[in-house]
Structure 1
Amino acid sequence: MEKQNIDRTKEKGKSIRCYKSKYCIKCLLLSLPFLLLVVLYVKKDPFLVLRKYKDYDHSNICLNEGAIGWYKYKLFRDKAHYDSFIMGTSCTMAYRCEDWNKHIHAHPYRFFSNSEGLADLYLKLSALDKQPNQPIKNLLFIFENGLLTKDYMQTDAMHIMPPEISKVNKVTYQMTFLQNFFNPLFLAPYLKYEFTHRYEHSMKGIINPYGVSHTGYNNNAIYPNEYKIRKLKENYWKETCWKELEAQSKHPKEFPRAIFHSQISYLNKIKAICNKHHTNIKIVFGPYLEKCYINRQDVAMLKQIFGNENVFDFSHSTNWHLFDKHNFYDRAHYRITLGKKIIDSIYANETNGNTKEVRYRT
């Protein structure tokens, strides 16, 4: 009887062990795709955040431009001796460092972020201020209404800043990108492109089909739409969307007020950094093709903080040439030809002893 009980106990133990083994095997099989994707992520490092690189300009992924801009700044600062910065949203693409440098004679760098917010811009400028022996001689801020409304640090994968800037811990920073990698909205088009090496319209915003995204030292934008315009010529502006934009432009509207107590606090902090470095600062609001005007109270507040001579609002310009569709790549981004004219106009008074009329008056 006792022997039978022992045998039953042994059989029960074997059964439990067998069940545990099967359970472990099933768990391993179920987790295998996840583990393989983690291995792929570590190997490919699609967002260029796991390791340091010598080249951040040739990625087939749409990257976090703010983070990449910081990595490039750190990579080249000792060689390039940066002392002047173009900052703001993706509309900075219209402003080339070489065009700006004709007026400032310095060592400029385009340090932008897509859909940048005011809090993000301040954190970046504050991080520059804390870098050893880093002068900030000139700043060219390209503002939009959306930038002013964001008085909070953005923490998603396309906008989160490196720990040196954002002060988030390294684990949180890396997990943000890993989680974004596993998001089906990213992972599906990414894997499809990895296997097929063919770009599809559904991959827009995920895959960069152009290969090169910036120039080296100064981080200027690469302009694939300029090649498209050369090829299509007038047909570039004959798509339906342009007719809709032209129709909207016949009914101008002013944005609601965006600058309140929180924004004023950030703007004063930015001004304090400028005062510390004796920075020559220029703030520009570009034109909107739909004739959307920056709120006049916001413009007045910026002029009060930074000086009337340092704030330029081209959204209110009376020069109709500014709003010609041929000056634009799309509804949000204007061309480098217009960016150059704006730069020339805002420095015209300084370089000509206030005797020459600004060509594109605000």
Structure 2
Amino acid sequence: MNAATRSLHRFCLSGVVFAIPVLLVLCSYFVTDPFRVLRDYADISKGSIVPLNKDHVSTSIYERNHGSQGYNAFLLGSSRTLAYRFKDWRVHLGPDAVPFAFDAHKESLWGMHHKLRYLAEKGASIRDALIIIDPLVTFAPLANSTGHLFIKDPRTSGESRFTFQKTFLEAYLADLFFVKYIDHSLFGVTRPYMKGMLDLDGNNIVDPITAERSMPVEHRIQKDPDAFYAERAELFFQRDTTVQSHYPRMITKDHLMYLMEMRSMLDAQGTRYHIVISPLYDQKAIHPMDLKALELVFGRHNVHDHSGINSITRNERNYIETSHYREHVGRWIMDRIYGTGDKDGPMSGH
């Protein structure tokens, strides 16, 4: 064997040695499918230990079940939709209501618009719609979201399936996520270096028929509310309640066009729709011009503004943390919408 042949042999051997771990990592991704985006699942979130893309989860559940379930009531919005529980919504919808949670992480107007268009293409019957608005999130620039938790399912977005799948593979490789995932999968031990990467509290579990997210934290609060809020006291920052501050104006002409198209799609079906502006802990109110735009498009009686300083936002026990409010708040808002709520505001009772 001459020198050139030996050099080529060493080069090929080095290439094989380098390729083996890379191929093993790639194989682990395709075999385990950690983000549940490669295959169809009867119960897509069952046994999952990582946060899933709710847009994809909801779309997959709808694709699998819409023919047999006949969904006719749709909940749209960001993760703040957690507060609007179907057991409470059904009270107002009637016995033949079949609700479906078509929410998404940091859902945008772009995402909601595309979901309504997708439902129209599927021939869905939208008898009721409850749309939850968070000004800074809802009225983000009109484009697909980025990141593996936020990118829209190509079945609703109409955009590249390759880009969608590439986003998840990149997330698997980023920050050595695959090491943490494989470590936990093999040994079942949660180590400090895994913090923030895995979801072992059941927060990512979704009903396989309605796509409603689980809310185990509510049970923990009710079990010992004093302990829960004492442990999280530092999360609840002090707010200036003497002067009402507002979010910046967010609705552009393009947003307005999307809103009008959404109304047209809903009106075409005779949908009973309600728009809720979330009561967030920061106590900022929606910009008056944005509120006016929503009322002009959907009708003042269909827009329910709970943002700003009010009986909900004053009480920290109406919140899980500073980003999400609790289910008794959602129940009270729905009671008000459908005409049975106490005007004085929700009482946490815990």
TM > 0.5: yes
Give the corresponding residue for 1:246: 238
Query: Which residue, 62, 67, 70 being the options, matches 1:81?
Result: 70
Query: Which residue, 271, 286, 304 being the options, matches 1:279?
Result: 271
Note the 1:70-219 alignment, pairs <5 A: 70-105=59-94, 106-131=97-122, 133-145=123-135, 146-184=137-175, 186-200=177-191, 203-211=194-202, 213-219=205-211
Which stretch of structure 1 is more off in the superposition, 179-188 or 200-209? 200-209
Query: Which residue, 39, 55, 60 being the options, matches 1:66?
Result: 55
- CA–CA separation in structure 1 for the residues paired with 2:263 and 2:281: 30
Kindly provide the amino acid, as one letter, of the partner of residue 57 in structure 2: I
- CA–CA separation in structure 2 for the residues paired with 1:116 and 1:241: 28
Secondary structure at 2:17 match in 1: helix
Give the corresponding residue for 2:305: 313
- CA–CA separation in structure 2 for the residues paired with 1:151 and 1:328: 29
- CA–CA separation in structure 1 for the residues paired with 2:73 and 2:245: 34
Q: Once superposed, what is the RMSD of the aligned Cα atoms? A: 2.3
Query: Which residue, 268, 273, 298 being the options, matches 2:290?
Result: 298
- CA–CA separation in structure 1 for the residues paired with 2:254 and 2:233: 36
Q: Deviations over 1:176-226 (max 9, x none)?
A: 211111111633432342244233565454311024612232222212212
Give the corresponding residue for 1:33: 21
Q: Deviations over 1:89-132 (max 9, x none)?
A: 0000011123112212221111110111111111122111111x
Kindly provide the amino acid, as one letter, of the partner of residue 22 in structure 2: F
Secondary structure at 2:112 match in 1: helix
Q: Deviations over 1:53-87 (max 9, x none)?
A: 11113211100011111001111212221011001
Query: Which residue, 40, 44, 52 being the options, matches 2:40?
Result: 52
Secondary structure at 2:274 match in 1: strand
- CA–CA separation in structure 2 for the residues paired with 1:201 and 1:314: 39
Give the corresponding residue for 1:23: 11
- CA–CA separation in structure 2 for the residues paired with 1:220 and 1:180: 25
Secondary structure at 2:307 match in 1: helix
Q: Does structure 1 residue 258 correspond to structure 2 residue 250? A: yes
Instruction: From the superposition, tell whether residues 144 and 233 of structure 1 become closer, same or farther in structure 2 (CA, over 3 Å).
Output: same
Query: Which residue, 217, 223, 239 being the options, matches 2:215?
Result: 223
Secondary structure at 2:224 match in 1: helix
CA positional deviation for 1:134: 1.4
Give the corresponding residue for 1:3: none
- State TM-score, norm by structure 2: 0.90
- CA–CA separation in structure 1 for the residues paired with 2:9 and 2:319: 64
- CA–CA separation in structure 1 for the residues paired with 2:177 and 2:73: 35
- CA–CA separation in structure 2 for the residues paired with 1:257 and 1:251: 18
Give the corresponding residue for 1:4: none
Instruction: From the superposition, tell whether residues 52 and 190 of structure 1 become closer, same or farther in structure 2 (CA, over 3 Å).
Output: same
Instruction: From the superposition, tell whether residues 20 and 96 of structure 1 become closer, same or farther in structure 2 (CA, over 3 Å).
Output: same
Query: Structure 2: 5+ residue runs without aligned partners?
Result: none
- CA–CA separation in structure 1 for the residues paired with 2:299 and 2:258: 16
- Contact 2:245-2:308 at 8 Å conserved across structures: no
- Contact 1:66-1:114 at 8 Å conserved across structures: yes
Instruction: From the superposition, tell whether residues 98 and 298 of structure 1 become closer, same or farther in structure 2 (CA, over 3 Å).
Output: same
Instruction: From the superposition, tell whether residues 247 and 163 of structure 1 become closer, same or farther in structure 2 (CA, over 3 Å).
Output: closer
Instruction: From the superposition, tell whether residues 55 and 261 of structure 1 become closer, same or farther in structure 2 (CA, over 3 Å).
Output: same
Instruction: From the superposition, tell whether residues 223 and 204 of structure 1 become closer, same or farther in structure 2 (CA, over 3 Å).
Output: farther
Secondary structure at 1:304 match in 2: helix
Identity %: 26
CA positional deviation for 1:244: 4.4
Kindly provide the amino acid, as one letter, of the partner of residue 74 in structure 2: F
CA positional deviation for 1:227: 2.7
Q: Deviations over 1:253-292 (max 9, x none)?
A: 2111110112112112211211222211111012122211
- CA–CA separation in structure 1 for the residues paired with 2:344 and 2:98: 26
Kindly provide the amino acid, as one letter, of the partner of residue 149 in structure 1: A
